[in-house]
């Protein structure tokens, strides 16, 4: 993995058709017939601030985002998961330790949405799905959100990277990392949840999942859930898209909830992408999607930022 001049990891999510799959270490792209079965996902659990890793210490570096500087940590997948740096192993590790370009696109888009008056994060309940470094969630916190909940597949990512990143950008009130969501030097409730998209809703607060109409039919008066859902580079795996979309429907406050999604238009080698996800959303018919930013137009690897809302 290379670092560009701004210190941000620079890499391609999936190889182009001509790339050697094995070189990049995406073991699930290996065409060999003897693929190991995908293990059961790790259990869903809340990770407390006090559970920040004491053994893995990320190196902090600045990320410049159109005039805004945020800090991000750098840790190796070898240190945390005993995997080589480019590995992404379904069911074990889903890429949360790297900073993907889409998360920077997402912060920049949120910034311009705020500046143009299309978005206010003040007092909003925010969920960042597939957070990894968590920069969009951190930005929301700094912009006055009342709650920011970070979700990742792996508790290790939250312990070794997301929590240290939040601490680096939003100081905690006490020296001792008290295990409570109000320890931060901000009024926001900041919490961390690990688990697979198919089941993590069971532990997310404020979701009355038993009563919730998962289709959020028009006229429903459900007022629980998140005002704003953020996600970057989460739509690469075709098989994961239905569970991700169902999670969004369970979590999104009706009728005014909004999703901001940054992703590549198409992920070579695996077939997912923003267009595939938007097509799934449009077929379901309860939400409308609008493209708000395009990055790298003209190149073969266009990145996009989409906004989804209930009709
Ligand atoms: C490619 S990384 C992107 C990380 C970060 N959003 C960024 O852009 O830098 C994909 C993220 O989605 C999460 N993820 C992928 N598949 C998942 C699944 N089935 N359930 C829960 N989280 C998943 C991973 O843990 C990881 O944080």
Distance of alpha carbon 203 from its chain centroid, rounded? 17
Q: Judge whether residue 173 has pLDDT over 80.
A: no
Q: Judge whether residue 172 has pLDDT over 50.
A: yes
Q: Whose CA is nearest to atom 3 of ligand 1?
A: 233
The answer regarding whether domain 2-310 maps to CATH 3.40.50.620 reads no
Q: Judge whether residue 112 has pLDDT over 80.
A: yes
With a CB cutoff of 8 Å and minimum separation 6, the contacts of 239 are none
Q: Is the CB of 130 under 6 A from ligand 1?
A: yes
Quote the pLDDT of residue 182: 54
8 A C-beta contact, residue 82 and residue 195: no
Instruction: Please report which confidence band the pLDDT of residue 147 belongs to, taking 50, 70 and 90 as the band edges.
Output: very high
Q: Is the CB of 154 under 6 A from ligand 1?
A: yes
Quote the pLDDT of residue 207: 84
CB atoms closer than 10 angstroms to residue 217 = 11
Quote the pLDDT of residue 24: 30
Q: Is the CB of 234 under 6 A from ligand 1?
A: yes
Q: Is the CB of 134 under 6 A from ligand 1?
A: no
* Ligand 1 pocket mutation, candidates 234, 264, 269, criterion most atoms within 8 A of CB: 234
Quote the pLDDT of residue 15: 39
8 A C-beta contact, residue 63 and residue 70: yes
- Coil, strand or helix: which one is 113? helix
Instruction: Please report which confidence band the pLDDT of residue 270 belongs to, taking 50, 70 and 90 as the band edges.
Output: confident
Element (H, E) at 305: strand 303-310
Atom of ligand 1 nearest to the CA of 101: 8
Q: Is the CB of 233 under 6 A from ligand 1?
A: yes
Q: Whose CA is nearest to atom 18 of ligand 1?
A: 196
Q: Judge whether residue 235 has pLDDT over 70.
A: yes
In sequence order, what DSSP letters do the residues of 248-290 get, joined into one string? HHHHB-TTT-EEEEEEES--TTTB--HHHHHHHHHHH-SEEEE
b/e 77-100 (16+ beta carbons within 10 angstroms → b): bebbbebeeebbbbebbbbbbbbb
Quote the pLDDT of residue 301: 86
Average pLDDT over residues 213-219: 48
Quote the pLDDT of residue 283: 98
Q: Is the CB of 132 under 6 A from ligand 1?
A: yes
Atom of ligand 1 nearest to the CA of 237: 16
Residue 234 to residues 117, 128, 238, 239, 285: CA-CA distances in angstroms?
27, 11, 10, 12, 21
Instruction: Please report which confidence band the pLDDT of residue 146 belongs to, taking 50, 70 and 90 as the band edges.
Output: very high
Alpha-carbon Rg for the chain, nearest whole angstrom, is 18
Q: Whose CA is nearest to atom 13 of ligand 1?
A: 130
pLDDT digits (tens, 9 = 90+) for 293-305: 999 877 778 999 9
Pairing of strands 303-310, 258-264: antiparallel
Q: Is the CB of 153 under 6 A from ligand 1?
A: yes
Atom of ligand 1 nearest to the CA of 128: 6
Quick one: DSSP state of residue 8? -
8 A C-beta contact, residue 170 and residue 185: yes
Q: Whose CA is nearest to atom 7 of ligand 1?
A: 100
Average pLDDT over residues 281-285: 98
Quote the pLDDT of residue 116: 97
Residue 131: closest CA among 145, 148, 144, 114:
148
């Amino acid at each position: 993995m290379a670092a560009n001049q701004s210190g941000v990891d620079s890499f391609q999510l999936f190889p182009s058709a001509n790339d050697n799959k094995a070189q990049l270490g995406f073991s699930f792209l290996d065409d060999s017939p003897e693929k190991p079965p995908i293990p059961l996902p790790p259990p869903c659990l809340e990770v407390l601030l006090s559970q920040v890793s004491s053994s893995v210490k990320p190196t902090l570096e600045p990320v410049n985002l159109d005039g805004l500087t945020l800090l991000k940590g750098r840790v190796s997948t070898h240190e945390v998961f005993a995997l080589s740096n480019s590995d992404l192993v379904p069911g074990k590790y889903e890429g949360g330790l790297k900073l993907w370009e889409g998360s920077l696109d997402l912060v920049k888009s949120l910034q311009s949405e705020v500046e143009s008056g299309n978005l206010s994060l003040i007092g909003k309940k925010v969920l960042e799905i597939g957070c990894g470094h968590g920069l969009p969630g951190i930005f929301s916190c700094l912009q006055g959100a009342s709650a920011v909940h970070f979700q990742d597949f792996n508790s290790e990512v939250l312990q070794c990277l997301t929590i240290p990143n939040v601490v680096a950008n939003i100081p905690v009130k006490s020296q001792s990392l008290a295990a409570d969501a109000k320890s931060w030097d901000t009024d926001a409730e900041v919490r961390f949840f690990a688990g697979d998209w198919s089941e993590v809703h069971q532990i997310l607060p404020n979701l009355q999942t038993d009563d919730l109409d998962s289709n959020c039919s028009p006229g429903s008066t459900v007022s629980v859930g998140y005002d704003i859902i953020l996600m970057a580079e989460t739509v690469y795996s075709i098989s994961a898209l239905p569970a991700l979309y169902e999670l969004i429907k369970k979590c999104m406050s009706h009728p005014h909830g909004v999703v901001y999604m940054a992703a590549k238009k198409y992920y070579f080698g695996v077939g997912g992408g923003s267009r595939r996800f938007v097509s799934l959303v449009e077929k379901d018919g309860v939400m409308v999607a609008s493209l708000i930013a395009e990055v790298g137009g003209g190149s073969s690897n266009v990145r996009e930022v989409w906004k989804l809302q209930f009709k």
